[in-house]
Structure 1
Amino acid sequence: MAELIKIYEENPNPKEIEKIVKVLKKGGLIIYPTDTVYGLGCDINNHTALEKIAQIKGIKLENANLSFICENLSNLSEYAKQIDNNTFKILKRNLPGPYTFILHGSNNLPSVFKKKKTVGIRVPNNSICQAIVSKLGNPIVSTSIKDEDEVVEYTTDPELIAEKWDKLVDIVVDGGFGDNVASTVIDLTEGEPEVIREGKGDLTL
């Protein structure tokens, strides 16, 4: 049974954040708000939890395109390499924000992701997920939740999300209604930025 925890973005309750982080560290899965759609996430360092997410998505973990939710730019640079000045300026201008940037992965990636040459990195402009990542001390590996029949309420209303995902996750964080537009995805691996998916946000290059 998933626990539904209400947290206010203006002032995330530290006790509730701590409770969520304890669950993550034990290998639990959470659904939580970002500055775009609600995300399904786990601790980047917990292999069992990563396998659970891959299983839910019906894919092999090594083939999964999962995003890393980071707290800030310095946190991000631990998991991405070859960030030149131009790339750094683009990241700095747009983060935190509703963007997923594809970058070259560094040697700090968990072993299961070592074969992947690139990583998708996010720093959402949402104080709830920033507080969770900050307390956890490392990124959350995340994927956005989608509904097979594209019913808008399922991806935006935390109570309906909790009903649907009740047996699959440990906690659903109710941070209010989510958005129904995913992040804009930008590939920065070839020097020149390439928009892979148009989503939320007004990108500044």
Structure 2
Amino acid sequence: MHTEIKNAVETLKQGGLILYPTDTVWGIGCDANNAEAVAKIYTLKKRIETKAMICLVADDRMLKKYVKNIPEVAQNIFDVAEDPVTIIYDDAQNLAENLIAEDKTIAIRIPDDEFCYQLCRKLNGAIVSTSANISGAPTPKSFKEISQDILKGVDYVVNLQHDKKMTKPSSIIKLSSNGVVKIIRE
């Protein structure tokens, strides 16, 4: 795993795209601070730039770097959630402009996954995580289902295909600064 993290981080630092196993599904990732790399993902996925993407961070401390005010209820959600949960926060900061939604929100998940944790730690920053498919196509349930277009379009494919079990995308919850909680995807 160490070599895979090293190779993936080198690719991310050079502005490249990686294909990697997350705590949910196989994802396409890039450095969340690199606007050019973020643009490459939108192009590869044939996705409109107004459709936001998710970021992964290592822990609470890293989350504070990207969200101005983290609602207290966020910690409660982390504590009770049994499955991966992505939270959409208001007041995003310190990220590539084309990653932040028009309403200044950002979707972030703290994955319970050693590979993703180490990836964020070694990069020392957030990593984009968007499903490994062309926009509108079904989310691949395993590495074998990932299309050739995606495989050819990334700069590095993490070689942990055998470790990744099939799973589903995370739940998405929107937490507004005014205390409103809204479930976007169960």
TM-score bucket (shorter structure): 0.7 to 0.9
C-alpha displacement of 1:87: 3.2
Q: Does 1:166 align with 2:151?
A: yes
Corresponding position of 2:75: 88
Taking structure 1 as reference, are residues 84 and 160 closer, same or farther at Cα in structure 2, changes over 3 Å only?
closer
Say which one has the larger Rg: 1
CA distance in 2, matches of 1:146, 1:24: 19
When the two chains are superposed, the root-mean-square deviation of aligned CA atoms in Å is: 2.5
Matches of 1:186 and 1:90 in 2, distance apart?
A: 9
Which residue in the other structure is 2:114 paired with?
A: 127
Show the counterpart of 2:164.
177
Q: 1:110 corresponds to which residue? A: 96
TM-score, normalised with respect to structure 1:
0.76
Summarize the Cα distance change of 1:18–1:162 in structure 2 as closer, same or farther, 3 Å threshold: farther
Confirm or deny that 1:40 pairs with 2:25. Answer: no
Instruction: Tell me by how many angstroms 1:43 deviates.
Output: 0.6
Unaligned runs of 5+ in 1: 1-12, 199-205
Note the C-alpha offset of 1:124.
1.3
Counterparts of 2:35 and 2:73, CA distance in 1: 34
Distance 1:149 1:141, change over 3 A: closer
What percentage of residue pairs aligned between the two structures are identical?
34
Aligned residues: 181
Q: Is contact 1:28–1:42 with CA below 8 Å preserved after alignment?
A: yes
Give the TM-score, by structure 2 length.
0.83
Runs (5+) with no aligned partner, structure 2: none
